[in-house]
Amino acid sequence: LFGKLKRAYEVLSDPHQRAIYDCLGEKGLEEQGWEVVQRTKTPQEIREEYEALARVREERRLQQKTNPTSRLEMTINATDLFDRYLYDSEYDDLIEGDFPHFEVSKMSLSQSIQAPLTPSDTATLAGNINTSNGTGSGSLSCGLRRVTSESAWQEAEVGVGSGLSLGAKMYRKLSERNFVNMSGTLQFSRKGLKPAFECSLGTHLDKYTAGYLRYSTNFRLQETEDSFMLREEDSGMCTMVVRNTERYQTTASLQFGIPYTYAMLAHTWKLPEKKRKFRGALKVGTFGAILEYGVEEKIT
């Protein structure tokens, strides 16, 4: 009783809460996100603000439940910007135009959405379309993940695109620090079956650092005149150390495999207050050297 009297006194003595209570009752006081409501506002204005807050809350709840994500990637070929400076001035007449020529050589769009079915089961629907140098493709997949315990989950997936694709994934926590991820796919294509397998063993070295040991391989099953032949297309063993803090993320990895062996060092600077990230990476291997750099900014 004393608590109810204290709550009633707090509401009646506060003009902001009193105005909300007079129009909407206790349910209005339970709503979060109110601006300061003065007695000069009409009951209709207070109700409209309450309904707007309720819509925002429902949209936020739905978004957290379905977790929709979209990704758009575009590759721009700017070779002409540099090639024109490699020629002598006597070839100026052969260079078309005074300005460098840019072209979009690759573009892809992907979308996914999740639908919780039960507290332990979640369905995921994903699709993507992409085009590269005038050739387009796309795929659609549906997956079902079941969380069996706090330390394990399994997922099955089926997709269509370049043929039928079946896949399975699993995660299991082995100890307080160690965990394992495994995945396998089987794709039915015009050139034959393409099985793939990946296994990753991870360990938490400290609060911000994790180490991984990963093995992956891809095969192709082809039919010959008198038998079937299983040929390994590529495989590799990779060891990786990742340190991820609020301000930066650093990744160092070394991979031995077919057809490439390489070492990579990547660093990402995070600016949470500006919702921006800067990334740089250097990869050196049997294919030569690759330098990558980029920026990511959160718009909404």
Q: Please, what are the averages of pLDDT over each run of 10 residues along the chain (300 residues)? A: 70 66 62 48 68 74 74 84 62 60 87 86 93 88 93 95 92 94 91 90 94 92 72 88 95 92 96 89 94 86
Q: How far apart are CA 229 and CA 55, in angstroms?
A: 59
pLDDT for 104: 85
Given this model, what pLDDT does residue 126 score? 95
| Alpha carbons within 13 A on the beta-carbon side of 282 | 2
Q: What pLDDT, on a 0 to 100 scale, did the predictor assign at position 38?
A: 46
C-beta of residue 129 within 8 angstroms of C-beta of residue 135: no
Tokens representing 114 are 């999740």
Q: Are 18 and 40 in contact (CB under 8 A)?
A: no
pLDDT score of 41: 60
CA distances from 86 to 78, 90, 94, 261, 287 (A): 14, 12, 13, 31, 24
pLDDT computed for residue 46 by the predictor: 66
CB 193 within 8 A of CB 201: no
pLDDT at 166: 96
- Of 130, 195, 146, 129, whose CA–CA distance to 166 is shortest? 195
Which pLDDT does position 266 carry in this prediction? 97
User: What does the radius of gyration of the chain's CA atoms come to, in whole angstroms?
Assistant: 28
**pLDDT score of 91:** 54
pTM above 0.75, yes or no: no
Q: What angle is formed at CA 17 by the lines to CA 14 and CA 19, rounded to 5 degrees? A: 105
